[in-house]
Structure 1
Amino acid sequence: MRLPIRPVADAGEAITEREITEPVDLCLPSGRLNPAAVGWTRSPVHRANLRGWGRNKRFEYWSISTPDAVITLNISDHDYRANVAVTYGSRTEDREIRQGGNIWLPRHVGMRDPDNATPMRAQRRDTTVEFVPRGRGSELYATSPRIRVALRVQAEADHESMGVVVPWSNRLFQYTRKDNGLSATGTVTVDGVEHRVEADSSMVIHDHGRGRWPYFTFWNWASGNGTTTDGRRLGLQFGGKWTDGTPSTENSIRLDGVLHKISEHLRWQYDPGDWLRPWTLTGPTVRVEFVPTKHVHHVFNRWIVLNRADMCFGRFSGTVDIDGDRISFSGVPGHAEEVQRRW
């Protein structure tokens, strides 16, 4: 199987994707992409056996939304650079606290287990972040001068999540698993004030990635969690730009715990000059509008390393056609973002 390097599909086109149901290695013994790993999954079956050094990317990102705040925790290992971070952003005030930062030429940050079954822990000076797998859930911990986190995340028994391998070539590729519709319980302490996080009022997003990336990447990501207009449990997952021109997409919806893959590259339309104007995501079966209510900008620029992110929080409305049925929803809370990276 020859993996595509040149574009094979444009935004707005439907494609054919293969569902993988059995365990598979991400890489061949040579370190190149295993052709048998290209496809999508509804449960984690990829074994991320990355080899070599220099362009490997391993990351775990968690976002916990409550009625008052958005808390994020991140550990990433890019061979020559690692990042450990915990943030707290108020939903009602113009207030954001960031703790942590980059670690240059790290030895490792506990992310080399190809089965992702062992705890992951990273420390930068006085900031420590740790993720501990626990069956169908995870425990999330962070300590820093201003933020402390102790949370338990759990999925329901029928919960499915989307995994997909995106092949740019047989040398550059990414396995990503996007999960939402999760809930958390525990505490977040900010500047000495403890905030309770409850399962019935929290929404959790998990972004898991393993692969070997090109130097420059540019992407859109959107995620939402709520109910359809007829009361079914709904999870929204959309991605774009970085998958355009490949035989894979990052698009799916989940209904009452069951994943439905959307095999089409979507058109994303929004105004980078005014992030709070409505966004639209469209394709052959997708017609979605996202109305932002808050915009967060972050940039780290050191010439050869760039991380620029514009994230908006708001609500999704629209329709998605699945197996002949039209799924309608309105006012579903979530986020949408544009990110540019050189790394």
Structure 2
Amino acid sequence: MATHEHEITGPVDLCLPDGRLNRAAVGWSRVPLHRANLRGWGRTKRWEYWCVTTPTHLVALTVSDLDFLALNTVYLLEYPPGGRESEHTSIVPGARGVRLPDTVAGSPGTEDVVVGPARPSGGKVRIEIRDEASGTRLRARCLTPDRLPLEVDLLVARPEGHESLSVVVPWSDRRFQYTSKHTALPATGQVRIGTEVLEFGGADEPAWAVLDHGRGRWPRTVDWNWGAACGRTDGHTLGLQFGGRWTAGTGSTENGLCVDGRLTKIGEELDWRWSATDRSAPWTIRTPVSDQVDLTFTPFHNRSTRTDAGLIANRTDQSFGHYDGRVRTDDGTEIAVRHLLGWAEDVHMRW
């Protein structure tokens, strides 16, 4: 079932010279083609969010520039029961020292992204996103609450021909978002906590990386759902990328499937069902018109974040768990989804 949305096949600027949305940029692409030449201050938001998962643990890194401040985060989760959870966020007034490129950080030809001191103390974090010949290098450093050094060193591969989902979501000529979502990217490396080492990647326990790259000019208040998952299922390497609420009424969605490196773009808004009072309850995510997506997501852990820093207030419930059900590609291939590791989140943001 082909999407109704316009596919972009060549490079394009996100904005006109006066900072308004370039309507020629509205659409989606299989590789990042937009240059986010944003102008203006106050409503501009830029971020890179990477999450790398294994069957037993995960790490997520965020570098963000929200104009009036930056929120840079290192998050580690060893899955329950008994696993540790560690989150470290550095709030940077005025987003001083945070510079994010107009294109995907860590891709060929971009400048390195480096935030935080080389040897962070207290609540500070160091995060690096660098382009290397073999992929994107992710490094991070901070101190745990008991003052153990936590160090991340991961390499995310860029398989030749692997497709991603980039899309422009237009609320208006003054409010719009460009997002580039990359799923099912193989990753290798280590996370070290004191003298303990957590391995990422290997023949028996592969690691998978997801990127959420965002550039845009946002309304003051917004709500969204986001879900993603990666892994091997039914003989395929599958990446799920789903969004909800924030795109409604814009004519664009951020929904797609990456199957063996090939993207299927889904133009339907999804039907999300979840419990806001029981975060352990299963979710359902379905396409209401077609039968392309019919999934149940069962959480095993909820990451609850509450931020109130004056100009910014954030309520995030990011549940990690497994997807089961089925999906169907553009060419009619039906894939059984069995115990695919990922997450689904419910977010309210005032920024």
Computed over aligned residues only, the root mean square deviation of the Cα atoms, in angstroms, reads 1.9
Post-superposition CA distance 1:52-110 (Å, at most 9, x none)? 21111110011111233221111000111112221211213253212232101133412
Alignment-derived partner of residue 212 in structure 1: 217
Amino acid at match of 1:129: I
Post-superposition CA distance 1:294-314 (Å, at most 9, x none)? 222111123541111111111
Higher mean alpha-carbon deviation, 68-77 vs 326-335, is at 326-335
1:243 to 247, 253, 256: 247
Provide TM-score, normalisation by structure 2. Answer: 0.89
Distance in 2 of aligned mates of 1:69 and 1:37: 38
Larger RCO (CA within 8 A; separation ≥ 6): 1
Secondary structure in 1 aligned to 2:24? helix
Post-superposition CA distance 1:185-243 (Å, at most 9, x none)? 222111332222224421211110011111111111111112343x1221111110111
2:227 to 222, 244, 267: 222
Matched ranges for 1:1-343 at <5 A: 16-92=4-80, 93=82, 95-114=84-103, 116=105, 117-123=110-116, 126=121, 127-135=125-133, 137-145=135-143, 146-200=149-203, 201-229=206-234, 231-283=235-287, 284=289, 285=291, 286-323=293-330, 324-343=332-351
Identity of aligned residues (%): 42
Residues 303 and 35 (structure 1), Cα distance of their counterparts in 2 relative to 1, 3 Å cut: same
Secondary structure in 1 aligned to 2:37? coil
Distance in 2 of aligned mates of 1:256 and 1:136: 19
Distance in 1 of aligned mates of 2:195 and 2:151: 9
Amino acid at match of 2:242: F
User: What is the number of residues matched between the two proteins?
Assistant: 329
Alignment-derived partner of residue 9 in structure 1: none
Residues 110 and 255 (structure 1), Cα distance of their counterparts in 2 relative to 1, 3 Å cut: same
Post-superposition CA distance 1:301-340 (Å, at most 9, x none)? 2354111111111111222233344333222111111111
Secondary structure in 2 aligned to 1:233? strand
Residues 293 and 115 (structure 1), Cα distance of their counterparts in 2 relative to 1, 3 Å cut: closer
Alignment check: 8 A CA contact 1:66 1:202 kept? yes
Q: Alpha-carbon deviation of 1:292?
A: 1.4
Secondary structure in 1 aligned to 2:219? coil
Amino acid at match of 1:184: A
Secondary structure in 2 aligned to 1:217? strand
Amino acid at match of 1:95: R
Distance in 2 of aligned mates of 1:33 and 1:139: 32
Alignment check: 8 A CA contact 1:294 1:314 kept? yes
Alignment-derived partner of residue 146 in structure 2: none
Higher mean alpha-carbon deviation, 170-179 vs 86-95, is at 86-95
Post-superposition CA distance 1:99-123 (Å, at most 9, x none)? 2321011334121445741111111
Distance in 2 of aligned mates of 1:319 and 1:307: 33
Secondary structure in 1 aligned to 2:116? strand
Distance in 2 of aligned mates of 1:263 and 1:96: 36
Post-superposition CA distance 1:262-313 (Å, at most 9, x none)? 1100110011111111111111232111111222211112354111111111
Provide TM-score, normalisation by structure 1. Answer: 0.91
Alignment-derived partner of residue 10 in structure 1: none
Alignment check: 8 A CA contact 1:48 1:115 kept? no
Distance in 2 of aligned mates of 1:245 and 1:226: 32
Amino acid at match of 2:112: P
Alignment check: 8 A CA contact 1:183 1:199 kept? no
